[in-house]
Amino acid sequence: MKILAWLTGILGVVALYLAFIVAPEEAVMGPPQRIFYFHVASAWTAYLGFLVVFVASIAYLRTGARKWDRLAFSSAELGVFFTSMALLSGMTWGRAAWGIWWDWEPRLTSTFILWLVYIGYLFTQMTAEGDEKRARIAAGLGIIGFLDVPIIHMSVRWWRSLHPEVVRPGKMQMEPMMGVALLFAVVTFTLFYVYMLKWRVRTEDLRDRLFHLKEIMRQRGAAASRRG
């Protein structure tokens, strides 16, 4: 845990240095292009988070072990967080590059829908009744939601092809140092995700244990009052 924290911190500083100082400035877009490193890293981590939700959901339905549910929930929370970061950074980029905050750009739009899907997932986790039932229906949602992601992506691309393409920089020529900066950003974000996930799962574990201890206390209290 501690090593991971240090590693993430150090890599984070390196990634910032690479992205802001070492990587060359993009000719057309200028400084705002540097958002790109953190934008891509956020999006990648978000997808990773949702993949973990998917796998943990399947594992939960197969085994019924509560740890999988806790893992899925924790990862979904982080996934939503990183999706929000990807959306916000994408919008900032859009503002800098095209002058508008939101232009229904296909990838950003499907990311937005993805965000809504997992907001729904978290909402379900929070409002479902009964502990085991909650875990089961959340797992169902975690599976079907993830399988829908590529289809949503496809349909949004197709939908946008109706509209004229807005002027935007073509495929960016990546300088080698840009690639390195991106790689460091992605690795840092991934480690940060793993670190946060560990804490989040631990919190859920503790919450679970506390719940059981309270249950035991209540039973003992009831038994004592019967005797007294």
Partner 1 sequence: MGFLSRTMTVVWKDLMVEFRAKEMLLSVLVFALMVLVVFGFAFNPVEHDLSDIFAGIMWVAYLFAGTLGLNRSFMSERVNDALQGLVISPIDRSSIFLGKFMSNFLFMIAVELVLTPVSIILLKYPFHKGALLLGAALLLGTFGFAAIGTFLAALASNTRASEVLLPVLIFPLLAPVIIAVVRVTDAILGGDVSGVMPAFRFLAAYDVIFLAIPFLLFEYMLEN
49, 90, 94, 145: which one contacts partner 1 (CB under 8 A)? Answer: 145
For partner 1, the closer of residues 36 and 60 by Cβ is 60
* Residue given tokens 């080698």 in the structure block: 176
What letter would DSSP give residue 130? Answer: S
Task: Tell the smallest beta-carbon distance from residue 83 to partner 1 (Å).
Answer: 12
The reply on whether position 79 binds partner 1 by CB under 8 A is no
Residue type, 161: S
Phi-psi region of 26 (alpha: psi -120 to 50; beta: other; left: phi over 0): beta
| Residues 106-125 close enough to bind partner 1 by CB under 8 A | 113-114, 116-117, 119-120, 123-124
In 130-180 the beta strands, taken as DSSP E runs, fall at none
Dist. CA 141–CA 38, nearest whole Å: 29
Among 162, 167, 216, 224, binds partner 1 (CB under 8 A): 162
203/221 Cα distance (integer angstroms)? 26
183 vs 52: CA distance, rounded Å: 21
Residue from the set 52, 97, 156, 185 that interacts with partner 1 by CB under 8 A: 156
- Whichever of 89 and 111 has its CB closer to partner 1, that residue is 111
Decide: is 141 part of the binding site for partner 1 (CB under 8 A): yes
Contacts to partner 1 from residues 23-62, by CB under 8 A:
61
Cβ-Cβ contacts under 8 Å for 185 (sequence gap 6 or more): 15, 18, 19, 37, 38, 40, 41
130 binds partner 1 (CB under 8 A): yes
Q: Does 158 bind partner 1 (CB under 8 A)?
A: yes
CB atoms within 10 A of CB 149: 19
**Binding-site member from 4, 27, 65, 151 for partner 1 (CB under 8 A):** 151
Q: Which residues bind partner 1 (CB under 8 A)?
A: 61, 113-114, 116-117, 119-120, 123-124, 127-130, 133-134, 136-137, 139-141, 143-145, 147-148, 151-152, 154-156, 158-159, 162
